[in-house]
A and B are shown apart, each in its own frame.
Chain A
Amino acid sequence: MDPVLKIEHLGINFGGLQALDDFNIQVANNEIVGLIGPNGAGKTTVFNLITNVYPPSKGRIMIGQHETEGHATHEITQYGIARTFQNIRLFKDLTVIDNVKISLHNGMNYSLFEALFRLPRYWKQEKETERISFELLDVFGMRDNAYDMAGSLPYGAQRRLEIARALATYPQVLLLDEPAAGMNPSETAELMETIKRIRRDFNVAIILIEHDMNLVMGICDRILVLNYGLIIAQGTPDEIKSNPVVIEAYLGQQRSE
């Protein structure tokens, strides 16, 4: 089967710093790929390159049949890439349901004119959007919070809302940037179940940046390890766990005496 996301020889340098070099990956439908590595290894940079927040210095990215080069972030979202952010970026002063509805923007196509004069298409699509939004909130157990301000939610719920909002764009690939950051072990366990359920119910591939090794080892089909902008290892969780190069990158080299 064709990969949903194909990245070839991707690289970027900021001034003299080579933040990422020769990054290759093919993600198949419904796969969960872990992206790990020490701080500053270039993990989030990969996400920012895929969504074209930074244009890559070299290499190319294919989302299905679409090449991302020269396309704005919002177009890439429409090709089927959705993401969450390392430091939560919700629309804080808007309600929970509006956060989801904003992502459903491109699911509707009524024009400005139809909106101003409230023509039938406006009503039909707004109603449908409301229904889908509530369905999505149900998946994350947030229906009761629909009209709360997103910023007033507890931390864990904000993380979940961010995932719900990302899913509302109907992605083929979901990029999760440290979804378990700041969560306690029981919340992390819950998140693990949620991610598994998302893959099953929404039929998406997921790329996951995470420092929590229990989470990464528990759900990823395969893992890529980055260090100083280079892939230093890839394989199944078991292979990665015992890979000496990875252990060295994380813990440093054992001093030979």
Chain B
Amino acid sequence: MDRIKEKIGKTRYTYILNTLATILLFAVIYALINFGVLNRYQSLLLIPIGFNIILAVSLNLTAGYLGQLPLGHAGFMSVGGYASALFTLAVDLPPAVEFPLAILIAALSAAVFGVLIGLPALRLKGDYLAIITLGFGEIIRVIITNLKFTGGAYGLKGIEKHTTVTWVFICVTLTLFIVQTLMESRHGRAILSIREDEIASEASGISTTFYKVLAFTVSAALAGVAGALYAHYLSILDPNNFGFMKSTEILVMVVLGGLGSTFGSIVAAVVLTLLPEWLRSFSEYRMVVYALVLILVMIYRPSGLCGKYEFSLDRIISGEDEGLKKIKAIFHRKKSGKEEVGE
């Protein structure tokens, strides 16, 4: 493996590896759906899993990497959702042109709101930031409820159902690509340094205001993308679905997965989307079990399911992966434990 790596250069190798893995993953999902391994209900679940991943990963950018706690993520999602839905309702283009444009519009409009809200809000820290973003999230919801062209409290109906598993897959891949490449650059390091120590970061020559607003805006734009997927999946938008509870739900995913771990956000988004579905048979006890799971994870793994662990295919193949090492160590311990009993 190392010889191949040397031959084509380490970084290009990683690129090829990740591209191949992404294509393979898509092929597997596609095959699972088309050969009927996943039934229609299960394959439709892939869509909410997808936009929840985007929501969690994008919130992790501000909550986990930037270290600020915004509580208005659903607000950005609704901006993206409404902007894209109004666009597709207004124009009549072939879906293959219309939908990507709608997603782009969703991202841009949510980004604009991200800057507008981020600039004043990010002057505050901690609890204050949480409260002010909570307020902004609610303001967006109330405005949408009272505007005419958004359908008001009745919601926006008849949105074309453009969201397919393929589109969701593309958007998730792009989200992960953007977040990962951003975080592995000087810009990403600047964002991390703000989380670690804002005063030291500023003293190291980093414009903390700029990078806070940048991270906040990228995060908002990605939430907008998730909103677009959401709108064209349900085909109806109700402002009440973007309230404080939705923001909390996303935050729970991020915290459960591990603040500051994109991989953790993905795992938690998948688990927390599927959990309520699996628990359908418990009917009214569903939310109790859901809450219990959260409480237990927080007691036994306060740093979240994955802590700060990041997934890297390259590291796994070369055997340098921390997670893999831990799993190996557990197996090793079990093995040697058995031997001791035998003696």
| B residues less than 8 Å from A82 (CB atoms) | 203
For residue A53, CB closer than 8 A to chain B, the reply is yes
- Contacts A90-B197, A105-B205 hold; do A116 and B178 have CB atoms under 8 A apart? yes
Cα–Cα, bound, A117→B177 (Å): 10
Q: Mark A78-94, 1 if CB is under 8 A from B, else 0.
A: 10001101000111111
Inter-subunit contact B193/A102 (CB<8 Å): yes
Q: How far is the CB of A105 from chain B (nearest CB, A)?
A: 5
- Contacts A72-B207, A74-B205, A74-B208 hold; do A89 and B199 have CB atoms under 8 A apart? yes
Cα–Cα, bound, A118→B185 (Å): 9
> Which residues of B from 41 to 94 have beta carbons under 8 Å from A?
none
Q: How many B residues have CB within 8 A of the partner chain?
A: 27
For residue B170, CB closer than 8 A to chain A, the reply is no
- Contacts A112-B187, A115-B185 hold; do A93 and B205 have CB atoms under 8 A apart? no
* The 4 nearest A-B residue pairs measured at CB: A115-B185, A91-B196, A77-B205, A89-B200
Inter-subunit contact A78/B196 (CB<8 Å): no
Of all chain A residues, the one with the shortest Cβ separation from B204 is: A103
Cα–Cα, bound, A168→B186 (Å): 14
> Which residues of B from 166 to 186 have beta carbons under 8 Å from A?
178, 181-182, 185-186
- Contacts A77-B203, A82-B203 hold; do A98 and B189 have CB atoms under 8 A apart? yes
For residue B221, CB closer than 8 A to chain A, the reply is no
- Count: A-B pairs, CB below 8 Å: 98
Cβ contact of A105, chosen from B181, B204, B209, B308, cutoff 8 A: B204
Of all chain B residues, the one with the shortest Cβ separation from A118 is: B181
Cβ contact of A106, chosen from B196, B205, B214, B308, cutoff 8 A: B205
Cβ contact of B204, chosen from A108, A116, A165, cutoff 8 A: A165
| B residues less than 8 Å from A165 (CB atoms) | 204
Cα–Cα, bound, A187→B200 (Å): 24
Q: How far is the CB of A44 from chain B (nearest CB, A)?
A: 12
Inter-subunit contact A169/B202 (CB<8 Å): no
- Contacts A115-B182, A116-B182 hold; do A83 and B189 have CB atoms under 8 A apart? no
Inter-subunit contact A90/B200 (CB<8 Å): yes
| A residues less than 8 Å from B197 (CB atoms) | 89-92
Q: How far is the CB of A11 from chain B (nearest CB, A)?
A: 22
For residue B11, CB closer than 8 A to chain A, the reply is yes
Inter-subunit contact B206/A102 (CB<8 Å): yes
